[in-house]
Amino acid sequence: MRPLGAQVDDDGRAPHDMNDEAAREGAEVTAGEMAVNHCEKIPLGTQGATEWEVVHLPSSLGDFQARAFRSPVTGSEHLVLSVGPLQERGGLLRVHSECLTGDVFQSLRCDCGPQLQGALDLLKDEGGIVIYMRGHEGRGIGLVEKLRAYALQEAGVDTIDANLRLGHAEDERDYADAIDILCLLGVKSVRLITNNPQKRDALVAGGVEVEALVPLRIAANPHNERYLETKRKRMGHYLE
């Protein structure tokens, strides 16, 4: 059975919608304190994601160790880049959502590419891990739907309402594979490189302690000013 994670109240109660989703999926809702045992009670390598080869990856972005993981649930293949020895506690971590337009083609409509570069630069200085999450394109709606959302944004709709008009949630990303990967790597606590509090909440719900948030300060440009403002105001991202 695959766990579902959620931010819970102080008394350990999960949101009603999470309980409903768990009932539909035949899954179990556990409080954060119990969720820690997801890593501790299950032998490493059996939670979900399967680790494959570990190789040296020299690149123009830095000198990394690369690991590939395949999820038996989604079939997604994720990439982990690391610098230095893996740290059980307190190491830097970036959980980066795949963005073909931003990461590869350097789109100015988002801040994904600069965030990835900023995280890799931090790793070169301090060591740490980047988990590159496949299947997260467009906050989980896929490339085709992301471009449809872009078309709506060109007509004046913001990034959240564009998703909603297309019948999607504002954010459909799932971080269960990232939790599995961290369990497999033996990582129990991290300093999380992100501006997004939802990523922190997802890791904590999955049993990974987040010791601190390390923000990435990315300058806006005329093409993404409204997008970044929407993330700040409507999604609670830590942006100046």
- Residue-wise pLDDT for 123-136, tens only, equals 999 999 999 999 99
The two tokens of residue 206 are 């999955």
| Together in a domain, 127 and 224 | yes
In a domain, 200, yes or no: yes
As a whole number of angstroms, the distance between CA 76 and CA 69 comes to 8
pLDDT of residue 14: 47
Which amino acid, residue 226? R
In a domain, 150, yes or no: no
pLDDT of residue 12: 41
pLDDT of residue 10: 44
pLDDT of residue 124: 94
pTM of the model: 0.81
pLDDT digits (tens, 9 = 90+) for 8-54: 444 444 444 555 555 554 555 544 444 444 565 444 444 466 777 88
Is residue 216 exposed (0-12), middle (13-18) or buried (19+ Cβ within 10 Å)? Answer: buried
In a domain, 163, yes or no: no
In a domain, 106, yes or no: yes
pLDDT digits (tens, 9 = 90+) for 179-222: 999 999 999 999 999 999 999 999 999 999 999 999 998 899 99
| Together in a domain, 18 and 119 | no
| Together in a domain, 24 and 61 | no
Average pLDDT, the chain: 84
In a domain, 164, yes or no: no
pLDDT of residue 1: 43
Q: Predicted confidence band at 72 (pLDDT cuts at 50, 70, 90)?
A: confident
Q: How far, CA to CA in Å, does 11 sit from each of 8, 14, 31?
A: 8, 9, 9
| Together in a domain, 4 and 116 | no
Is residue 159 exposed (0-12), middle (13-18) or buried (19+ Cβ within 10 Å)? Answer: buried
Q: Which residue has the higher pLDDT, 162 or 12?
A: 162
pLDDT of residue 235: 83
In a domain, 195, yes or no: yes
In a domain, 155, yes or no: no
Domain that residue 3 falls in:
1-35
pLDDT at 138 over 90: yes
pLDDT at 3 over 80: no
pLDDT of residue 99: 97
| Together in a domain, 24 and 132 | no
The β-bridge partners of 92 are 191
Q: Which residues are catalytic?
A: 171, 173
Into how many domains does the chain fold?
A: 2
| Together in a domain, 9 and 48 | no
* Arithmetic mean of pLDDT, 105-129: 96
As a whole number of angstroms, the distance between CA 66 and CA 82 comes to 7
| Together in a domain, 183 and 93 | yes
| Together in a domain, 69 and 127 | yes
- In the chain, what is the greatest distance between 2 CA atoms, to the nearest angstrom? 51
